[in-house]
Structures are given as C-alpha cells and as structure tokens.
Amino acid sequence: MILKNCVGLITGASQGLGKAFAESLLKKGAQVVICDINQAQGEITRAEFDLRYGPGRTAFITCDVTSLPQLKDVFSQTVQTFGRLDVLCNNAGINNENSWERTISVNLVALIQASYLALDHMRRDRGGKGGSIINVASMSGFVPAAHAPVYTASKHGVLGFTRSLAEASSLGNYGVRINALCPSFVNTEILETVNHEENLGIFYQFKDNVKNLMQAFGVLEPSDVANGFVQLLEDDNLNGAVMKITTSKGIHFENY
Ligand SMILES: NC(=O)c1ccc[n+]([C@@H]2O[C@H](COP(=O)([O-])OP(=O)(O)OC[C@H]3O[C@@H](n4cnc5c(N)ncnc54)[C@H](O)[C@@H]3O)[C@@H](O)[C@H]2O)c1
C-alpha cells in the first residue's frame, strides 16, 4: 500500500503508541483521524500535528470505543472529512483487572466492532476500495501473565480474531489485509498501571514479577513499534501476519 494521500483512522491515539502510529502516517504524506476517550490530550496532539505537518491533515474526534454509536459516528465523520478510509488501526487499550469486563470491552469487543465497521467501508467485493486493518495485540498474546489474566486473555483473543478474519478476507476476496502487531514492553503510560492496586486488583501481589520482566527484556520506544506498523501497511503480501517486536530481536514474525 502506498501511504501518501491515504486516510488512516487510529483509535486511542491521543498519546503513546497510537500517537506514534498517527505521526508515522503523517510523515508518509497520509491524513489521519485520531480518536480517543481523552479529549484534552487528543486536542493537544492534533494541535501539535497541525504545527508539524500542516493544518487540515489531522482530525481529532472524542470517542469511547465501547460505545457503538460513537464508533459509528467516527467512521462517518472520517469519510465526511477526508472522503475515504484506507487504514484502520485498532490501538485503544487498557490494563485493568479490577474492571475486567471493561478490559475485554475495550481491548477485544470494540476492536471487533471497529473491524466490522471498517470492512463495511473497505470490502472490494461489496463495492469498496480495499484497505488495511492493523490490530494491536501484545506479547501478552502468547505468554501467560500472573499480574494480568484478563488483559492476557484479551490479547490472545485479538490474535485469534485477526488471523481468522484475515483468512475470511482472503477466501472472500474482501481486498482488505488484516494483520496484528505484538510489541513487548513499550515506554508509554500503560506501563504505569502495574504500580496500582486499583488496576491489578487481586493480582497486585504479582507486580514485582512484571517489573522483573521489564528489567530483563528492556523497554521499547513507541517509534520502534511505529516502524513495524509502517512495514505491515506497506507490504502488500502480508495478511494474517503476526508481527512481534522485542528489544533483543527487533521486528520479526510468529511462525504458526
Ligand atoms: N506499552 C506497552 O508496553 C504495550 C505493549 C504491548 C501492547 N500494548 C498495547 O498498545 C496499545 C496502546 O497502548 P499504549 O501503550 O500506547 O498505552 P496508553 O495508555 O498510552 O494509550 C492508550 C490510549 O487508549 C485510550 N483509550 C483507553 N480506553 C479508551 C476507550 N474506551 N475509547 C477510546 N480510547 C481509549 C487512552 O485514552 C490512551 O490514549 C494498547 O492496546 C496496549 O494494550 C502496549
């Protein structure tokens, strides 16, 4: 996919990884819609992008991805503003074992909803122009984690959904590539959640395990992960791919 003049929609992009993904698209000459529940930070990020990449290339829409009406509105506004939709990145995510149902709602249910809405716009076999969906999973999509069983379940779910939908897209000639991105620890606010009992709930006692893992494996920067994001979008051969990014091995793929 040639990213110049594409239109990308990224959820949870006020800060952290989503912001880095949005910036990588802007650097390639695309236009982006960033949506996030955090309105104040989203507006700051849009203003920053306007200054750096020129006004009118970034739109910010306040959205709680767990609300289907709000999510539908984001897709309509994206097409109204920029005339098309080529890329969806399902990035919004939380780590909360206390409100574990919400963790599943944000990390998995909303990702499924948004993927279906994107397919409605993109499917070539239904008159769309094709496109690309990237679902942000994690290394938690492969390994168990005592401090975060439900977060881990949500990310395992993201991989199963992504690989299955990619197969449907290929067999059904949707013309949409659907891939997953699995970084190990990245230097963003979500890492802070492991320091708080209100996030980890009864698993708070295992917080030192995860801190030891961070020490052992190291922490990536969002820009490292954005490089993988761009590779998944630009390589037209990738569908159903599961890209892993770690400090030791860099960008590589899971072979199932
Ligand atoms: N940082 C890491 O170590 C790491 C590693 C692997 C995967 N991930 C995944 O990367 C993604 C991005 O996380 P991050 O690391 O940038 O953390 P982050 O906390 O900085 O960013 C998450 C963003 O999602 C937004 N968000 C949360 N709930 C939302 C909702 N209901 N509706 C809309 N937006 C919502 C937040 O406001 C925030 O801007 C998540 O899916 C996370 O699970 C992160």
Q: Cα 31 vs. chain centroid, distance in angstroms?
A: 17
Tell how far the Cα of 193 is from the centroid of ligand 1, in angstroms.
Answer: 11
Question: So what's the pLDDT on residue 217?
Answer: 92
Pairing label, strands 242-246, 176-183:
parallel
Q: Which domain holds residue 239?
A: 7-248
Give the pLDDT of residue 19: 98
Ligand 1 neighbour 38 (Cβ under 6 A): yes
- pLDDT-based confidence at residue 6 (cuts at 50, 70, 90): very high
Going by C-alpha positions, the residue among 144, 122, 143 that lies closest to residue 133 is 122
Q: What is the CATH classification number for the domain harbouring 19?
A: 3.40.50.720
The reply to whether 70 falls in a domain is yes
- 126 lies in a domain? yes
Cβ atoms of residues 101 and 140 within 8 Å? no
Cα–chain-centroid distance for residue 216? Answer: 25
- Edge to edge, the sheet with strand 87-90 lists 58-62, 31-36, 7-11, 87-90, 131-136, 176-183, 242-246, 250-253
As a whole number of angstroms, the distance between CA 37 and CA 32 comes to 17
Pairing assessment for the beta strands 31-36 and 7-11 based on DSSP bridges: parallel
Residue 255 is assigned to a structural domain of this protein: no
Residue 13 Cα, ligand 1 centroid: separation in angstroms?
8
Q: Within the chain, what is the greatest distance between any pair of CA atoms?
A: 53
pLDDT per residue over 68-110, tens digit each?
Answer: 999 999 999 999 999 999 999 999 999 999 999 999 999 999 9
**In terms of C-beta density within 10 A (0-12 exposed, 13-18 middle, 19 or more buried), how is residue 80 classed?**
exposed
Number of domains in the chain: 1
The CA distance from 210 to 147, in Å, is 7
Tell me what pLDDT residue 157 has.
Answer: 98
67 domain residue, yes or no: yes
Of 24, 161, 188, the residue with max ligand 1 atoms within 8 A of its CB, to mutate for a pocket test, comes to 188
pLDDT digits (tens, 9 = 90+) for 203-223: 999 999 999 999 999 999 999
Q: What per-residue confidence (pLDDT) applies to 174?
A: 98
pLDDT value of position 226: 98
**Residue 186 pLDDT class (50, 70, 90 cuts):** very high
Please indicate whether residue 176, judged by its CB atom, sits closer than 6 Å to ligand 1. no
Confidence of residue 181 (pLDDT cuts 50, 70, 90): very high
29 lies in some domain: yes
Specify the pLDDT at position 76.
Answer: 98
Confidence of residue 128 (pLDDT cuts 50, 70, 90): very high
Q: What angle do CA 52, 57, 59 make, to 5 degrees?
A: 105
For residue 256, being part of any structural domain is answered with no
The DSSP letter of residue 218 is -
Considering the candidates 116, 151, 174, 256, report the single residue annotated as catalytic.
151
Question: Which pLDDT band holds residue 175 (cuts at 50, 70, 90)?
Answer: very high
Domain assignment of residue 2, yes or no: no
Give the model's pLDDT for residue 26: 98
DSSP secondary structure, 36-67, as one string: ES-HHHHHHHHHHHHHHH-TTSEEEEE--TT-
CB atoms within 10 A of CB 108: 23
- Asked, for residue 253, whether it belongs to a domain, the answer is no
Q: Using CB atoms within 10 A of its CB, is residue 187 exposed (0-12), middle (13-18) or buried (19+)?
A: middle
**Percent of residues, the chain, with pLDDT higher than 70:** 100
Per-chain mean pLDDT for the chain: 97
Q: How confident is residue 62, by pLDDT bands cut at 50, 70 and 90?
A: very high
pLDDT score of 178: 99
User: For position 246, what pLDDT does the model report?
Assistant: 97
Are 238 and 199 within 8 A, CB to CB? no
